[in-house]
Amino acid sequence: MPHKPNLDEDYTRLLQSLLPPGPAWAGNNPLLDGLAPSLARLHQRAHDLMREINPAQSMELTDRYDTLCGLPDPCLDPRPQTREERQQVLDAKVNTVGGMNEAFFKKQLEILGYPTATIEQCQHRDNSPDTTWGEQWRYYWRVHIPAEARIRPMTCVSACDAPLRHWGERAVECVIERLCPSHTKVLFAYPKGKNHASH
């Protein structure tokens, strides 16, 4: 980024103020005129460095931040992103505080495009889905994906061994499973109905 001309003038005045008094320094000084732009450029680069410390504003170190943060996220669509989108993803990656509670996972689902998704903790069920499992169900929880989930039916151009209908938000499942506490198991439920299936 080019430095501002008035920054050159500021450094020229600063250098002039450091000179000893006397007629030898009166008038124009080519040495100071040459040093001031160099100091102004150094000043600007230091300013740039301060900006680069924040991934949300990084312009030059974005690729390095991506590498450090494991981006692009293998769970998400690897489509090309604008610089602003990359900065937003980096900011979220670096500054998002993790969590193990329901509110944290609801926030992740909202970020992934499903603000109406709900979470059910199996330990809160009145009746255990399978009584032989007993206490083991306390480690299971279920994410209910709403009706707008991607449902893909078999068509006339599908492979002969393709299922009649398959569904699932792989990106959502990938991200939630990666964030899922290691001692728990997450299940995903998709809506039943005329045009939907459950899973």
Q: Is residue 104 domain-shared with residue 76, that is, in the same domain?
A: no
What confidence score (pLDDT) does residue 199 get? 47
pLDDT(164) > 80: no
* One domain for residues 186 and 126: yes
Domain shared by 65 and 15, yes or no: no
Rounded-to-integer distance, Cα 24 and Cα 27, Å: 9
Instruction: Please tell me whether residues 112 and 157 are part of one structural domain.
Output: yes
Tokens linked to 26? 């009166």
Same domain, residue pair 31 and 83: no
Q: Assess whether 39 and 67 both reside in one domain.
A: no
Q: How, if at all, do strands 140-144 and 185-189 pair?
A: parallel
Question: Is the pLDDT assigned to residue 49 strictly greater than 80?
Answer: yes
Which among 43, 76, 96 is the end of a domain? 96
Task: Specify whether 163 is located in the same domain as 181.
Answer: yes
Same domain, 91 and 148: no
d(CA 63, CA 89): 12
58 and 47 within one domain: no
Is the pLDDT at 129 greater than 50, yes or no?
yes
pTM of the model as a whole? 0.60
Q: Which of 96, 125, 148 is the last residue of a domain?
A: 96
Q: CA 67, CA 76: separation in Å to the nearest integer?
A: 16
Asked if pLDDT for residue 73 goes beyond 80, the answer is yes
Q: How far apart are CA 14 and CA 58, in angstroms?
A: 31
Q: Which of 91, 84, 3 lies closest to 47, judged by CA?
A: 3
Same structural domain, 118 and 195: yes
- Does 106 share its domain with 188? yes
Name the average pLDDT for the chain: 81
Report residue 22 as tokens: 């006397």
The number of distinct structural domains making up the chain is 3
Tokens of 143: 């994410």
pLDDT tens for residues 26-39?
778 888 888 999 99
Q: Are strands 118-121 and 165-167 parallel, antiparallel or unpaired?
A: unpaired
Residues in the chain: 199
Q: Are residues 32 and 84 in the same domain?
A: no
DSSP 115: T
What domain range includes position 88?
54-96
pLDDT confidence of residue 197: 43
